[in-house]
Structure 1
Amino acid sequence: MNPLRVQFQSRNFHNVLHWQPGRAPSNHSRIYFVQYKKYGQKEWKNKAECWETQELFCDLTDETSDLRELYYGRVRMASAGNYSGWSMTRRFTPWWATNIDPPVINVTQHNGSVLVVLHAPDFPYRHQKGTNVTVENYYDLVYRVFLINNSLEKEQNIYEGAGRVVEIGALMPHSGYCIVAEIYQPMLGRSSQRSEEICVKIP
């Protein structure tokens, strides 16, 4: 009857607890109760918005905003007046566990060259001035930009570095090119997925 597969799923530091229903009589509705705590704390805290919820997820982004802390979440189920035990997550560290989206890229062309501007994804937090906090506030990043020559069906990594503006020159006239990019996190040894391709035609 306990909830199953209780785990955090994190994307750009949006930290959401997910679970699956435990066994219960099919003709009875199920409600769930969610609690969380930091590693080392004795007392669990109730998540008010996820207390007696019928959802199978609970957004704990605000409660897990200290990104290098260790957290736990747990869920119990009630059905027909019967309460399950608590099912707990593994230890969760947002800084380590979150998955980073690929960069957003803007491409313009001029005189046979292409200018690529890369934008890191925003996080759900804001600076005191009200501006968005980006992934660059928490990680050293390497941007990788790939150029695909459509006529040759050939891809090459034409840039790898921390800069967010990349100029690509010496492109063949009357040719089509596509550009994709990804973010690499050296400290964690992993890459984001690739961005959507943006294609241009060189006159």
Structure 2
Amino acid sequence: MTTFTTSAAPPSPAATSPTASAACWRRLSLWFGLICWLQLSCRAPQANPERVRRSEPLLGTFVTITAYDEDRGRANDAVSAAFDEFRRIDSLMSLHRPDSELSRLNARAATGPVVISPDLFRVIARAQEIAGETEGSFDITIRPLADLWGFIWKEYRLPTEQELKAVLPRVNYRRVGLGPENRTVHFLATGVSLDLEKVTRLIAPAGNYARSA
């Protein structure tokens, strides 16, 4: 049996955009939890286990995974499997990768409906539900503001009042149209862009988990 822990660096300032209530975040965490995706169950670590620890830059932060097992090879396998899932999520939803599915969606969705993968559509659809429930307190269209403040690439700046006035109309979850039948996303105005950073931090949450070998 392998026990392992995951942790991430503190969220970047881009993650300080308006957020949903704690109850909404708990529901979203349950919906997308990495616990379910990796089929993990909580157990106590064994006595005197081997430890394997690795870190990688993913999801706009550094992810560290530490695994404990009497068998070092099995611990290595557990860490590798966990990072495989982190990389998969990163390839879908990273803003820091121009080749991620989210980056491609942001580049094209203002010109017409874009068909996306089931996983990405499910995340966006649920985020839109929460935006409605919170009347926009949680809003994944925050990306233009995050860019303006330099949060995404950590090139921070103080925008002018005129710049803020120009960008704020683009931040509105109602400007995102979804087509559930064909899994399409369509931005209903130019300049709209999605930021799923808060969501990805919940899909791959920090915590202590164990997996039976």
TM-score w.r.t. the length of structure 1 is 0.28
Quick check: which has more Rg, 1 or 2?
1
Specify which structure has the higher proportion of helix. 2
Relative to the length of structure 2, the TM-score reads: 0.27
Higher relative contact order (CA 8 A, sep 6+): 2
